[in-house]
């Protein structure tokens, strides 16, 4: 075994880390390793058509499984291609390991040579410069350890002349999981419980916002119990969207995408408790969402300063579930609280009021995106994985209901378009059951449309719904609001149905929203991926975009 080439040992170490799927694009720097990986029993190799997409697929795979995503790219241009994917993974806390070659360390000249570390570091990702043959397996362990424990992307750069040397022996590989501290749930300090209970008992209009930390802690039921006990309303951050959709006092997402009713209730809130939510600029809508509220944060790692603003007024350092349960117990012991916000009339209003009821005139042959989304919400089964894209149409997608946050995937933290087809491919490669839908804008989809070929070649099955306004809608609406020429953001409605068929997949343009039910049945009955090209109006402006006008674009 010790005489095996280094690339074989590197592949075995990756397998020991539990890697079962790799998203790859070959070049000199990674082809030996990738080929060795593909020979390992149970490893699925997905060969992408762009390195950015290989990484975004690995991110999608993480979203669907919770396991560290693994991608592989070649040295030099392979690495320069992935900077947007790395920055996106950094912002979204996605654990990912990218096996990248490096140009040969002993070569006098190599045209693809570039200092890869600074490129990777500039994105916020970690770079492991694997230059020691004796410590080569330690380098792999470090990559997985940092990715898993710090929840961020890591690029492992291995010069490819070193990859071809004989391994030379050494102790067996011990996977990174053996090094990750297992500390159990962090309990809250009694003083912070007492302080929060005092505030909660006195609050008349409290709202709890749950975030990703609440989802990963399994705090769903505990938070609903605290809300019930304290008379609080329930909301979530965007990534935790859907957590309380079944609860009649759930007001949906907090932030710029909040519904009209939610905005009104937040404006009146006197206490907001963020549970496992870092209170980003977007969650608090730049500070405009709950100006009157005292803000408390329950978090494993509370933040005093977030995105340039004070995050909260009081803090509890605790695991989400443990912290919330302690507050509920103490609140019960203390007796009834002052809250008076919950009522049957409010529950009815929440259930019956549309997120946004502004009126627009809709040109013939196009749909109001709100109607298109409502119909998609009706026909797409609730147990499907949903990947939600970016752009202006993302607002409408956010208001679909009844799907668990674990099945809703939107990596928008870096604000980059062009990721979502690949994220959806990663989800589809993990799930392998066809129950994956991507909702995406036309501009973002076409940015990496070549990945339809990857879908076809690997026989992946997913449904892609394009909200096609024939434009970079997000840009178009800002240009219009500023009275500028919009022609640079308008492209016309690309015929994605034909493009899809050209790649050997199924595809159609939707002429009537009533078609969607029967199209869903025919998608289910066969084995090929499909695009529904949905022409939407470019006149319907989301409330978040309308508010942007009032604030002034780009001014935070
Ligand atoms: C990589 C990247 N390039 C450019 C932008 C600027 N941008 C933001 S939204 C958008 C338009 C997206 O168009 P589309 O996917 O059709 O969605 P729509 O806004 O029309 O709903 C653009 C170009 C960006 N965010 N990321
Ligand atoms: Mg568009």
Q: How confident is the model at residue 483 (pLDDT cuts 50, 70, 90)?
A: very high
pLDDT of residue 404: 95
Question: Of ligand 1's atoms, which has the minimum distance to the CA of residue 417?
Answer: 26
- Cβ(392) to ligand 1 under 6 A? yes
Query: Does the pLDDT at position 410 exceed 80?
Result: yes
pLDDT of residue 3: 81
- Cβ(442) to ligand 1 under 6 A? yes
Q: Report yes or no: 339 and 230 within 8 Å, Cβ to Cβ.
A: yes
Strands of 57-187, DSSP E: 69-73, 96-102, 126-129, 153-159
* CA terminus-to-terminus distance, the chain: 58
pLDDT, tens only, 35-48: 999 999 999 999 99
Query: Does the pLDDT at position 394 exceed 70?
Result: yes
Question: Of ligand 1's atoms, which has the minimum distance to the CA of residue 441?
Answer: 15
- Please give the mean pLDDT across all residues of the chain: 96
Nearest CA to ligand 1 atom 25: 416
Q: Mention every residue, 6+ apart, whose C-beta is less than 8 A from residue 30.
A: 24, 72, 73, 74, 75, 78, 99, 100, 101, 160
Give residue 375 CA to ligand 1 midpoint distance, Å: 24
Q: Report yes or no: 9 and 59 within 8 Å, Cβ to Cβ.
A: no
What is the arithmetic mean of pLDDT over 500-509? Answer: 98
pLDDT of residue 10: 97
Q: Report yes or no: 326 and 224 within 8 Å, Cβ to Cβ.
A: no
Cβ atoms < 10 Å from Cβ of 184? 7
- What are the distances in angstroms from CA 166 to CA 9, 156, 484, 546? 9, 19, 63, 62
Question: Of ligand 1's atoms, which has the minimum distance to the CA of residue 468?
Answer: 16
Give residue 412 CA to ligand 2 midpoint distance, Å: 16
Type and span of the H or E element at 268? helix 260-268
Nearest CA to ligand 1 atom 26: 416
Q: Residue 321: which of 197, 218, 208, 191 has the closest Cα? A: 218
- Cβ(471) to ligand 1 under 6 A? yes
Ligand number nearest CA of 88 is 1
Query: Does the pLDDT at position 549 exceed 80?
Result: no
- Cβ(417) to ligand 1 under 6 A? yes
Percent of the chain with pLDDT over 70: 99
Q: Report yes or no: 75 and 445 within 8 Å, Cβ to Cβ.
A: no
Q: How confident is the model at residue 390 (pLDDT cuts 50, 70, 90)?
A: confident
Query: Does the pLDDT at position 132 exceed 80?
Result: yes
pLDDT of residue 2: 63
What is the arithmetic mean of pLDDT over 161-173? Answer: 88
pLDDT, tens only, 175-223: 999 999 999 999 999 999 999 999 999 999 999 999 999 999 999 999 9
Query: Does the pLDDT at position 336 exceed 60?
Result: yes
Q: Identify which of 474, 479, 486, 496 to mutate to test ligand 1's pocket (most ligand atoms within 8 A of the CB).
A: 474
Give residue 6 CA to ligand 2 midpoint distance, Å: 47
pLDDT, tens only, 65-83: 999 999 999 999 999 999 9
Type and span of the H or E element at 61? helix 51-65
CA–CA distance, 164 with 12 (Å, rounded to integer): 15
pLDDT, tens only, 134-157: 999 999 999 999 999 999 999 999
Residues paired with 98 in a beta bridge: 71, 155
CA angle, 437 as apex, 436 and 442 as ends, to 5°?
145
pTM greater than 0.85 (yes/no): yes
Give residue 510 CA to ligand 1 midpoint distance, Å: 22
Give residue 281 CA to ligand 1 midpoint distance, Å: 20
């Amino acid at each position: 075994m010790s005489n095996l080439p280094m690339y074989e040992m590197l592949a075995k170490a990756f397998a020991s880390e539990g890697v079962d799927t790799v998203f790859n694009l070959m070049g000199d720097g990674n082809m030996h390793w990738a080929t060795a990986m593909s020979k390992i029993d149970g490893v699925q190799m997905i060969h992408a058509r762009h390195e950015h997409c290989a990484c975004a697929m690995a991110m999608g795979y993480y979203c669907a499984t919770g396991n560290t995503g693994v991608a592989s790219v070649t040295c030099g241009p392979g690495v320069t291609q992935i900077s947007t994917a790395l920055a996106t993974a950094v912002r979204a806390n996605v654990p990912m390991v990218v096996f990248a070659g490096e140009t040969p360390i002993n070569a006098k000249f190599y045209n693809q040579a570039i200092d890869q570390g600074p490129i990777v570091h500039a994105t916020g990702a970690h770079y492991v410069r694997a230059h020691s043959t004796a410590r080569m397996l330690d380098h792999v362990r470090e990559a997985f350890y940092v990715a898993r424990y710090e929840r961020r992307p890591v690029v492992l750069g291995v010069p490819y002349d070193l990859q071809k040397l004989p391994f030379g022996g050494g102790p067996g590989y011990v996977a990174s999981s053996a090094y990750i501290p297992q500390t159990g749930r962090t309990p809250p300090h009694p003083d912070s419980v007492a302080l929060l209970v005092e505030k909660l008992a006195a609050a008349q209009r409290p709202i709890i916002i749950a975030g990703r930390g609440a989802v990963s802690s399994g705090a769903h039921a505990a938070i609903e119990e605290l809300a019930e006990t304290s008379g609080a309303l329930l909301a979530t951050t965007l990534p935790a969207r859907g957590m309380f959709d079944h609860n009649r006092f759930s007001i949906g997402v907090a932030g710029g995408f909040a519904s009209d009713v939610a905005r009104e209730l937040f404006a009146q809130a006197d206490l907001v408790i963020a549970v496992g939510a870092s209170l980003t600029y977007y969650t608090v809508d730049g500070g405009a969402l709950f100006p009157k509220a005292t803000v408390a944060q329950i978090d494993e790692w509370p933040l005093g300063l977030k995105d340039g603003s004070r995050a909260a007024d009081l803090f509890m350092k605790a695991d989400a579930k443990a912290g919330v349960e302690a507050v509920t117990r103490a609140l019960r012991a203390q007796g009834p609280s002052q809250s008076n916000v919950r009522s049957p009339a409010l529950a009815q209003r929440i259930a019956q009021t549309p997120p946004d009821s502004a009126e627009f005139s809709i040109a013939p042959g196009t749909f109001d995106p709100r109607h298109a989304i409502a119909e998609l919400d009706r026909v797409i089964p609730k147990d499907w994985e949903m990947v939600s894209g970016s752009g202006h149409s993302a607002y409408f997608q956010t208001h679909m209901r009844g799907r668990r946050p674990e099945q809703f995937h939107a990596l928008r933290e870096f604000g980059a378009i062009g990721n979502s087809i690949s994220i959806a491919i990663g989800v589809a490669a993990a799930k392998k059951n066809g129950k994956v839908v991507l909702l995406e804008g036309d501009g973002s989809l076409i940015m990496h449309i070549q990945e339809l070929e990857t879908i076809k070649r690997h026989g992946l099955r997913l449904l892609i719904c394009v909200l096609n306004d024939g434009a970079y809608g997000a840009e178009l609406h800002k240009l219009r609001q500023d009275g500028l020429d919009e022609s640079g953001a308008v492209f016309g409605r690309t015929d994605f149905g034909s493009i899809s068929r050209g790649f050997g997949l199924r595809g159609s343009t939707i002429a009537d929203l009533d078609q969607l039910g029967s199209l869903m049945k025919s998608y289910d009955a066969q084995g090929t991926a499909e695009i529904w090209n949905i022409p939407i109006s470019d006149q319907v402006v989301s409330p978040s975009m309308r508010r942007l006008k009032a604030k002034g674009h780009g001014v935070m």
